[in-house]
């Protein structure tokens, strides 16, 4: 059935104020510095490389046109954090940081330079030199003044087994100490040369060595060792401000349900964490019958499990802050050619975009969740002092695994005696690297310079950037023009929330619009109860960003006239919507919760937009008791 849409246009051009307050850590919570509200990280790994460009060598934040395109599309998913790497300190990043800031997206900068995954042993042990630290400090100089800079990820520790290989003289414990020394120097550099505190943290890869589904028994000990304060000093600059986790549940061929158990087991291990924790890179990919990894819509169920309130994994009910999904686009990792559905979108060499069914599905998933306060949720008023370093609270300190010729036992660090800083690095920390500095700029261009097509290949012509400065956002409904994907559930349909500043286009969805005046501003908000709402292909077709990012609109002049009145008259009634749904179901269509069988009936205590999920076996007590093994 052909489906209808309408578009409301905001007239004029306005200079855009800043949208985000910077983030700080308060105990295990990541919070908005101004409101003290908990931030839930809905992140994505972001690069602009295509199938001919190695992501390891490409700066993702130097092209304002590309950033504008992607920020507009990310807003439809409620994404509020991007992970980037390979920042070139000689480039200008003002436009991109300001563009992402204008739609409520933080930027986490990974400071590693040799690849998207991790330091190799050799690179890591040779990283503590003046030349390499100068490069790190130049990157810090380049981005430290952007207000939506979330923090710096110092890079992934090498695999533990690399420290046990014959011929590699550094012990794993000494590797930890080297890492913490680099954290110390980085935080001291920031304290001397930046205008505000900036989070600096560690990323860990902690698989189980017994092949059981679950987080490593060393997780709690690692987090304590990296985040504790020596002698209880709150000014200990060597402690990590956050701990994130790479690869737990990534690149696995296990069913999503087993990965859910892994996610739950990690949360159990982090109950005692004294710093914010999150998935630095998460997702489930499938090798299928090819040598290439690929992402399928059904594998996105881990996102639903991770963020659903009933899972109790995310702050304030759980230990985790959220995570960053891998990946945004069809990225070449330098070692694999991407398949067509590698990421959420496909970007060609000209910068034009084809949305994938993965994008459609993820958007539909987030439309079922209560995302409105993910930039500033439950208030955390009390500053929690850091844990005092104490090896006796580290529950496990050794791990056994099969080496090249024998069984090897590694012991993690149980003291905090760090290596002495070389004098050349000391001079850099004190005097500064004198790198090029950036600044926030006004966002005045909102049009998209590239062609965008939906997952069926049909052109979408009304995508635009919709800046705002409110901390509130909601998801804008189901994906555009998906002819093969199932219709939206009764909880995730059409009203498209609004929140654009003057000068930006604002769309309205089918379920009706409430227009309220407040202090000279117009605020268009989505109806809370989506059950009575429906949507249509044509509502989404050509109007991908019609619902905006839900930040709340500023003063605007709404378009009027015969064309608008005609479009309003053509909107489907609730009765027509319900009739269409019945026809689609009769034809064999499914709602999202029928595809994701772990979603149970909705309990009355949860927000009306969320569906509960079944917890994996073992989460109720010790998730490590699960006996599943990888095939």
Q: Rounded CA gap, 585 and 75, in Å?
A: 30
Name residues whose C-beta falls within 8 Å of residue 168's C-beta, 6 or more positions apart in sequence.
Answer: 121, 125, 162
Dmax over CA atoms of the chain, in Å, equals 80
**587 occurs within a structural domain:** no
95 is written with which tokens?
């436009």
Say what the pLDDT of residue 343 is: 82
Decide if pLDDT at 85 tops 60. Answer: yes
Decide if pLDDT at 494 tops 50. Answer: no
**367 occurs within a structural domain:** yes
Nearest 5°: phi and psi at 170? -75, 135
- The answer to whether 177 and 418 have CB atoms below 8 angstroms apart is yes
Average pLDDT, the chain: 73
Say what the pLDDT of residue 400 is: 82
Strands (E), 272-334: 277-282, 320-325
- The answer to whether 629 and 211 have CB atoms below 8 angstroms apart is yes
Say what the pLDDT of residue 329 is: 87
The DSSP-derived string for 543-608 is -TTTT--SS---S--B--SHHHHHHHHHSPPHHHHHHHHHHHHHTT---HHHHSTTEEPPPTTS-T
**239 occurs within a structural domain:** yes
pLDDT band at 263 (very low <50, low <70, confident <90, very high): confident
Q: How many CA atoms lie within 13 A of 565 on its CB side?
A: 3
Helix (H, G, I), strand (E, B) or coil at 276: coil
Say what the pLDDT of residue 551 is: 26
**508 occurs within a structural domain:** no
The CA dihedral of 450, 455, 460, 462, to the nearest 10 degrees, is -90
Say what the pLDDT of residue 593 is: 35
Say what the pLDDT of residue 262 is: 80
Overall size of the chain counted in residues: 631
pLDDT band at 293 (very low <50, low <70, confident <90, very high): low
Can you name the residues that pair with 107 across neighbouring β-strands?
Answer: 82, 149
Higher pLDDT, 302 or 239: 239
Query: What is the sign of the dihedral through the CA atoms of 342, 347, 348 and 349?
Result: negative
Higher pLDDT, 449 or 249: 449
Q: Which of 243-257, 265-279, 507-521 has the highest mean pLDDT?
A: 265-279
Q: Kindly report the CA angle at 413 between 182 and 150, in degrees rounded to 5? A: 40
DSSP assigned state of 130: H
**622 occurs within a structural domain:** no
Say what the pLDDT of residue 534 is: 36
Higher pLDDT, 464 or 335: 464
Strands (E), 143-193: 149-156
Name residues whose C-beta falls within 8 Å of residue 593's C-beta, 6 or more positions apart in sequence.
Answer: 368, 489, 599, 611
Bridge pairing between strands 243-246 and 6-8: unpaired
Say what the pLDDT of residue 447 is: 96
Higher pLDDT, 546 or 439: 439
Higher pLDDT, 47 or 139: 139
Can you name the residues that pair with 41 across neighbouring β-strands?
Answer: 322
Decide if pLDDT at 476 tops 60. Answer: no
Say what the pLDDT of residue 302 is: 85
622 is written with which tokens?
């010790």
Q: Kindly report the CA angle at 186 between 29 and 165, in degrees rounded to 5? A: 95
**144 occurs within a structural domain:** yes
Decide if pLDDT at 414 tops 80. Answer: yes
Show the domain range for 81.
35-431
Express each pLDDT in 370-401 by its tens digit: 888 999 999 997 788 999 999 999 999 998 87
The CA dihedral of 106, 112, 113, 118, to the nearest 10 degrees, is -120
Higher pLDDT, 323 or 619: 323
Centre a 10 Å sphere on the Cβ of residue 528 and count the other Cβ atoms it contains: 13
The domain that holds 303 is classified in CATH as 3.20.20.80
Global confidence as pTM: 0.74
Express each pLDDT in 104-127 by its tens digit: 999 999 987 554 445 688 888 888
Say what the pLDDT of residue 475 is: 54
Decide if pLDDT at 491 tops 50. Answer: no
- The answer to whether 249 and 259 have CB atoms below 8 angstroms apart is yes
Say what the pLDDT of residue 33 is: 93
Query: What is the sign of the dihedral through the CA atoms of 563, 568, 569 and 570?
Result: positive
Name residues whose C-beta falls within 8 Å of residue 52's C-beta, 6 or more positions apart in sequence.
Answer: 332, 349
**452 occurs within a structural domain:** no
**506 occurs within a structural domain:** no
Count of domains for the chain? 1
Q: Three-class SS string for 378-441?
A: CECCCCCCCCECCHHHCCCCEEEEECCCCEEEEECCCCCCCCCCCHHHHHHHHHCCCCCCCCCC
Q: Which of 143-147, 599-603, 604-608 has the highest mean pLDDT?
A: 143-147
Q: Kindly report the CA angle at 281 between 120 and 619, in degrees rounded to 5? A: 115
């Amino acid at each position: 059935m052909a489906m209808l849409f309408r578009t409301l246009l905001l007239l004029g051009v306005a200079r855009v104020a800043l949208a985000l307050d910077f983030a700080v850590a308060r105990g295990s919570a990541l919070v908005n510095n101004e409101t003290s509200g908990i931030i839930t990280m809905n992140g994505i790994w972001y690069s602009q490389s295509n199938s001919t460009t190695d992501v390891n060598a490409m700066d993702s934040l130097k092209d304002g046109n590309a950033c504008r395109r992607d920020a507009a599309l990310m807003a439809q998913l409620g994404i509020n954090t991007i992970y980037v790497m390979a920042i070139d300190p000689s480039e200008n990043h003002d436009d991109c940081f300001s563009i992402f800031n204008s739609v409520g997206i933080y930027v986490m900068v990974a400071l590693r330079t040799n690849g998207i995954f991790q330091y190799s042993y050799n690179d890591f042990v040779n990283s503590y030199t003046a030349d390499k630290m100068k490069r790190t400090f130049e990157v810090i100089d380049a981005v430290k003044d952007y207000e939506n800079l979330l923090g710096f990820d110092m890079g992934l520790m090498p695999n533990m087994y690399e420290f046990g290989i014959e011929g590699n003289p550094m012990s794993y414990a000494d590797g930890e100490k080297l890492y913490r020394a680099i954290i110390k120097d980085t935080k001291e550099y920031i304290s001397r040369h930046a205008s505000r505190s900036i989070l600096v943290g560690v990323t860990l890869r902690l698989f189980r060595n017994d092949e059981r589904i679950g987080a490593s028994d060393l997780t709690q000990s690692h987090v304590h060792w990296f985040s504790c304060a020596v002698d209880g000093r709150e000014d200990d600059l060597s402690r990590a401000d956050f701990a994130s986790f790479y690869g737990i549940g990534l690149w696995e061929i296990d069913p999503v349900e087993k990965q859910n158990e892994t996610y739950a087991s990690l949360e159990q291990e982090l109950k005692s964490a004294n710093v914010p924790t999150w998935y630095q890179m998460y997702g489930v990919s499938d090798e299928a019958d090819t040598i290439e990894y690929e992402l399928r819509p059904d594998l996105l169920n881990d996102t639903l499990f991770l963020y659903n309130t009933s899972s109790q994994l995310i702050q304030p009910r759980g230990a985790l802050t959220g995570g960053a999904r891998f990946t945004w686009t069809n990225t070449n990792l330098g070692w694999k050619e991407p398949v067509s559905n590698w990421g959420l979108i496909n970007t060609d060499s000209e910068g034009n975009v084809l949305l994938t069914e993965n994008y459609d599905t993820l958007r539909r998933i987030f439309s079922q969740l209560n995302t409105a306060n993910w930039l500033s949720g439950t208030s955390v008023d009390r500053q929690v002092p850091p844990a005092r370093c104490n090896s006796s609270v580290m529950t496990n300190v050794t791990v056994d695994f099969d080496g090249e010729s024998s069984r090897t036992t590694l012991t993690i660090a149980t003291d905090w005696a760090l290596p002495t800083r070389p004098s050349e690095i000391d001079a850099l920390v004190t005097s500064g690297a004198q790198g090029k500095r950036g600044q926030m700029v006004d966002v005045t261009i909102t049009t998209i310079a590239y062609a965008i097509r939906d997952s069926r290949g049909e052109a979408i012509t009304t995508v635009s950037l919709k800046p705002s400065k409110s901390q509130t956002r909601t998801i804008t409904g189901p994906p555009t023009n998906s002819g093969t994907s199932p219709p939206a559930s009764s909880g995730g349909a059409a009203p498209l929330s609004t929140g654009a500043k003057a000068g930006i286009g604002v769309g309205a969805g089918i379920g009706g619009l409430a227009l309220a005046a407040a202090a000279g501003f117009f605020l268009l908000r989505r109806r809370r109860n989506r059950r009575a709402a429906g949507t249509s292909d044509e509502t989404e077709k050509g109007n991908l960003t019609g619902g905006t990012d839900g930040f709340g609109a500023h003063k605007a002049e709404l378009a009027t006239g015969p064309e608008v009145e005609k479009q309003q008259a053509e909107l489907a009634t609730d009765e027509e919507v319900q009739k269409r749904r019945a026809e689609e179901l009769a034809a064999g269509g499914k709602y999202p919760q029928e595809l994701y069988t772990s979603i149970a009936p909705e309990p009355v205590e949860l927000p009306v937009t969320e569906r509960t999920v079944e917890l994996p076996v073992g989460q109720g007590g010790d998730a490590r008791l699960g006996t599943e093994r990888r095939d």
